[in-house]
Amino acid sequence: MRIPVAFRGLIILSLILPIAVSSPAQCRFAPSTVGRSITFSFAPENIASGAVLHVTVQFQGNSEGFEQIEVPVEWAGEKLHSVSNLRAVTESTTIGEGSSPSEKTIRYPPNSTVILAYDLSKDWSGNLVHPFQFHPVVMPDYFEVNGDNALVVPRLPFGALVTVNFDFDSLPSDWSLASSFGTPQDRAGYCQRASGDRDEVLFHALFTAGVFRIHHFQIGRRDAVLAVRGQWTFTDEQAVEEIRKVVGLVRDFWSDDNFPYFLVTLKPYDQDRGSSDGSAFTNAFWIYMSRLDPLESQLTQLAHESFHAWNPKRMGPFQNYKAFDWFKEGFTRYYGYRLVYLAGLMPLSSYIELLNHDLRLYPGSDDPYIRGLGIAVWLDGEIRSESNGGKSLDNVMFDMVRGADKP
């Protein structure tokens, strides 16, 4: 029930699939005229200790011949140690220390092409349980990473436009690919490109590949995909129907289905009961669940992650995103409960129980989910009371989306 970092509003985001001609060795990408161009390639390898994901990143250097790159060392409150063997591939490029662990300084001949390489691997011991899903998950038969926890990038200013190429042509032939930018049904789609705001196409992007069961379906008029692995107490078809139903009811609330493509990934924790997590990304969200938990227990989480597509993603820029976690997470938690109840998917007694559980925690809690839900319950009641039932918190939320171009 998290969003990875601050969403920066609805900036242009163009997806071009496929955009390249695949060769036996690598994708070939045409030049781009939208912002700075960055190309990543991914090659998984199984080794004695487990698995490693080899990553290369290529971009055009600037006229000064030096700049900072950002290395993921923390995400969602988790310290990361997944990046290793960071090195320069191009001659005359050097990598030095920066002012913080997440920063390196690189030097190169001015205006030259820069190619860096590094490895990603599992950085915890034992089973995949909460909160290790926030680390790059690199396993022998699949990986799931996102821009915040896995991509080494040149530093880009807030709001910068970029074109990012993603080369997955080195994936094993029996692996499926599902990303924020498409779930291809043939190999040509393993060369992907996205242009737009740096956060949308880099930091908030989700990448999943491996041995998955892929299901293409519709949510209303729009294309959607479920990428699922593991054995559950429910069928894949039941999962598709619940996702279709819950995501659809959230879109109905907003009267907005402007989603040309949407991905949900569903993976099991290495435990039988009692844990789950969801996180929202560009055109996607993931769900992790304990193996024997019922799908019905995830309906409010499905609604929560769907709701993030508007709060905050379509409300405009949030530069100091941590200061607004109470709003982004807490108000979304409230609506996750409320919309599932109003749709008849939860009895009134369960809805009241969920609200009362969080409200009992409110006085002594600094959890933004709890604090924000308490504020949302109070504010909704105040607006309804003062307007004699004519308005509600819904009007505030709709106004924030309509005013997304304002600070």
Read off the pTM. 0.90
pLDDT at 297 over 80: yes
pLDDT of 89 > 80? The answer is yes
| Contact residues for 357 (Cβ-Cβ < 8 A; gap 6+) | none
Write out the two tokens for 260: 């040309």
User: What is the C-alpha separation between 366 and 355, in angstroms, rounded?
Assistant: 17
pLDDT value, residue 1:
45
- C-alpha span between 74 and 327 (Å, rounded): 22
Label residue 295 by pLDDT band (50, 70, 90): very high
Classify each residue of 328-348 as buried b or exposed e, where b means 16 or more C-beta atoms within 10 Å of its C-beta: bbbbbbbbbbbbbbebebbee
Q: Which of 161, 182, 206 is the last residue of a domain?
A: 206
Mark which of 283, 307, 331 sits at the end of a domain.
307
User: Using one digit for the tens of pLDDT, what is the confidence trace for 154-188?
Assistant: 999 988 999 999 999 999 999 999 999 999 999 88
Q: Are residues 102 and 65 in the same domain?
A: yes
Task: Report, as an integer, the average pLDDT of 381-403.
Answer: 97
In a domain, 74, yes or no: yes
Same domain, 75 and 201: yes
Number of structural domains the chain divides into: 3
The answer to the question of residue 71 being in a domain is yes
- Number of other CB atoms surrounding residue 285 within 10 Å: 26
Q: Do 142 and 231 share a structural domain? A: no
Are 23 and 143 found together in one domain?
yes
- How buried is residue 95: exposed, middle or buried, by Cβ count under 10 Å (0-12/13-18/19+)? middle
Confidence grade of residue 24 (pLDDT, cut at 50, 70, 90): very low
| Neighbour count for residue 259 (Cβ, 10 Å) | 17
> Do 32 and 106 sit in the same domain of this protein?
yes
Q: Is residue 315 assigned to a domain? A: no
For residue 112, tell me if it sits in a domain: yes
Residues 53 and 147 in one domain: yes
Higher pLDDT, 29 or 1: 29
Report if residue 7 sits inside a domain: no
Same domain, residue pair 229 and 377: no
Residues 190 and 140 in one domain: yes
Same domain, 30 and 165: yes
Tell me how crowded residue 371 is: count the other CB atoms within 10 A of its CB: 19
Which domain range does residue 259 map to?
A: 214-307
Q: Are 105 and 98 in contact (CB under 8 A)?
A: yes
Residue 13: the pLDDT is 44
Find out whether 225 and 214 touch, Cβ atoms under 8 Å. yes
> Which pLDDT value is given to residue 322?
79
Supply the mean pLDDT for the chain: 92
Assigned domain for 373 exists: yes
In a domain, 313, yes or no: no
Q: Using pLDDT thresholds of 50, 70 and 90, give the confidence band for residue 338.
A: very high
For residues 299 and 352, membership in a common domain is answered with no
Task: Tell me: pLDDT of 10 over 60.
Answer: no
What's the whole-number mean pLDDT along residues 34-62?
Answer: 97
CATH assignment at residue 55: 2.60.40.3650
Q: What's the pLDDT score for residue 25?
A: 44
Tokens of 253: 């609330």
Please report the pLDDT score of residue 37 as a whole number.
Answer: 97
Within this chain, do residues 54 and 177 fall inside the same structural domain, yes or no?
A: yes
The arithmetic mean of pLDDT across residues 321-340, rounded, is 94
Residue 407 lies in a domain: no
Which of 282, 307, 332 is the last residue before a domain boundary? Answer: 307
Whether residues 220 and 200 fall in one domain: no
